[in-house]
């Protein structure tokens, strides 16, 4: 009964501070997840401290300079100017925060195993300053069990009791970079608490800025929900990618098939094939689940198979380029290739894990000479440490290329002009679907 007696008093005290906005919020990891969350919390009146190892990001926050596309520049500047939002690389002030949200990366190691070192490093900082009355909420996508088997273990070294002294939850981020319709505020938020008091406090915390909070039975359920969501996408993208491979052999357009299938008014959901799968979620998160499943003597074959198929797509693009050049009596070696779009998906500036980089690396190893244009990516550094720069899109550049390859279908490009000027267009994203004229020189994935 002691546990229950203690936690309602402490839980209600923290909830009161949350509701009256006197609770101080700390967001660790102010990237594409943490910064939108920090701004939303500041906008409703919380004092918010952003923590990051990256001094450049912290300086940008201090100057009120936005670096995340989905955050409104003016709102960020206002929150910083009013003193509601600040940034720091010094974790020693974490003790002043009543609610700490962890939004750090969860990458894979070179051999595709979970790397939760960022989470562990943050936990080892938080535990130094952990005190009664704090809520800690993990948002980084990770395998089921991380919150209770890893994070709780580290925080308990403080001697404080979870659910009694401090509160611990998992609430997956559901950020769709570039999605103007679904934002941090109106995307339903799943929350799992280590104890009922933890769930109660965490739900109250998120309800202050998110329209619909969905409590679930445990942190494991919340962790599993998120990796399932991304596995769902990875598997369905792989399915349409495999259909693209088969349609190529059948000599039919996979795009015609998918357009026709999409006319079914129920029981189908549109996914599109492409040059591969990029970003910091879909290519990575399912492998967190596959790794954990092996601990329970299970091989989640859908995930492994989806990975295999999605990884082959850059090589399939290479095959299409070779065949298309060959049809024009050209070799890949010394071919002038002009790439349109290097971001990992349309209308965003993020090129991390982008399949375009893989395609360009493969083609260059085949001896092609490559330039690119991307209105959102002025430059990037490839895996060999070489810097690439976007070159201006012009009729001359399009005419000079032996092949123009659309790897990211940014909306701002005039694809009719591309098709009109280029002698060969390889379209891996169906970007030219509305172009009627000159399609004889367009090769579709």
Backbone φ and ψ for 228, nearest 5 degrees, come out as -65, -45
> Which residues are within 8 A (CB) of 176 and not within 5 positions of it... i.e. 6 or more apart?
182, 187
DSSP letter (8 states) at residue 19: H
50: part of which helix (H) or strand (E)? strand 47-51
CB of 221 to ligand SAJ, least distance (A): 17
Show the binding pattern over residues 123-142: x = contacts ligand SAJ (CB under 6 A), - = does not.
------------------x-
Q: Within 358-397, which residues bind ligand SAJ (CB under 6 A)? A: none
Stretch that binds ligand SAJ, among 148-156, 198-206, 227-235, 412-420 (CB under 6 A): 227-235
Which span sits near ligand SAJ by CB under 6 A: 56-64, 173-181, 209-217, 295-303?
A: 173-181
Q: How far is the CB of 234 from ligand SAJ (least distance, A)?
A: 8
- Is residue 230 at the binding interface for ligand SAJ, with CB under 6 A as the rule? yes
For ligand SAJ, the binding residue among 176, 304, 349, 420 (CB under 6 A) is 176
Taking residues 17 to 56 in sequence order and writing x for each that binds ligand SAJ by CB under 6 A, - otherwise, the string is ----------------------------------------
Q: How far is the CB of 409 from ligand SAJ (least distance, A)?
A: 9
Q: Among 193, 274, 314, 341, which residue interacts with ligand SAJ (rule: CB under 6 A)?
A: 274
User: Is 281 an active-site residue?
Assistant: yes
Out of 10, 57, 345, 358, the only residue in the binding site for ligand SAJ (CB under 6 A) is 345
Q: Which 3 state secondary structure label does DSSP give 444?
A: strand
Of the ranges 58-66, 230-238, 298-306, 393-401, which one interacts with ligand SAJ (CB under 6 A)?
A: 230-238
175 binds ligand SAJ (CB under 6 A): yes
Choice among 103, 198, 247, 281 that is catalytic: 281
Q: How far is the CB of 59 from ligand SAJ (least distance, A)?
A: 25
Considering only residues 277-306, where is the footprint of ligand SAJ by CB under 6 A? Answer: 277-279, 281-282
Catalytic annotation, residues: 281
The site for ligand SAJ (CB under 6 A) is made up of 141, 173-177, 229-230, 233, 237, 271-272, 274, 277-279, 281-282, 344-345
């Amino acid at each position: 009964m002691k546990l229950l007696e203690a936690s309602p008093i402490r839980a209600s005290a923290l909830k009161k501070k949350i509701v009256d906005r006197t609770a101080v919020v700390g967001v660790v990891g102010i990237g594409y997840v943490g910064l939108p969350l920090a701004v939303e919390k500041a906008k409703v009146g919380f004092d918010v401290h952003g923590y990051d190892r990256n001094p450049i990001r912290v300086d940008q926050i201090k100057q009120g300079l936005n670096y995340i596309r989905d955050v409104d520049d003016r709102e960020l500047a206002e929150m910083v100017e009013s003193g509601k939002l600040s940034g720091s690389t010094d974790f020693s002030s974490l003790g002043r925060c009543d609610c700490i949200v962890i939004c750090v990366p969860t990458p894979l190691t070179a051999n595709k195993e979970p790397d939760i070192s960022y989470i562990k490093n943050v936990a080892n900082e938080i535990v130094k300053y952990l005190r009664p009355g704090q809520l800690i909420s993990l948002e980084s996508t990770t395998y089921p069990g991380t919150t209770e088997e890893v994070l709780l273990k580290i925080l308990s070294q403080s001697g404080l009791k979870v659910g009694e002294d401090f509160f611990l939850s998992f609430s997956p981020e559901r950020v769709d970079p570039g999605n103007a319709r679904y934002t941090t505020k109106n995307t339903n938020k799943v929350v799992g608490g280590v104890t009922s008091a933890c769930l109660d406090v965490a739900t109250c915390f998120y309800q202050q800025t998110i329209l619909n909070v969905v409590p679930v039975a445990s942190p494991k359920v919340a962790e599993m929900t998120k990796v399932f969501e991304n596995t769902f996408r990875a598997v369905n993208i792989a399915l349409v990618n495999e259909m693209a491979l088969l349609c190529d052999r059948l000599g039919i357009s996979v795009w015609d098939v998918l357009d026709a299938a999409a006319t079914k008014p129920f029981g189908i959901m549109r996914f599109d094939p492409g040059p591969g799968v990029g970003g910091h979620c879909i290519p990575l998160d399912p492998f967190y689940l596959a790794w954990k499943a092996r601990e329970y003597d299970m091989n989640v074959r859908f995930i492994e198979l989806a990975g295999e198929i999605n990884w082959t797509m850059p090589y399939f693009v290479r095959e299409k380029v070779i065949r298309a050049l060959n049809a024009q009596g050209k070799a890949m070696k010394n071919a002038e290739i002009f790439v349109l779009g290097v971001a990992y998906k349309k209308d965003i500036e993020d090129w991390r894990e982008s399949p375009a980089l893989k395609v360009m690396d493969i083609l260059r190893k085949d001896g092609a000479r490559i330039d690119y244009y991307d209105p959102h990516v002025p430059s990037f550094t490839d895996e060999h440490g070489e810097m690439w720069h976007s070159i201006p899109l012009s009729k001359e550049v399009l005419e000079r290329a032996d092949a123009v390859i659309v790897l990211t279908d940014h909306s701002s490009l005039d694809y009719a002009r591309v098709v009109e000027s280029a002698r060969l267009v390889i379209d891996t994203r169906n970007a030219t679907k509305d172009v009627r004229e000159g399609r004889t020189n367009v090769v579709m994935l």
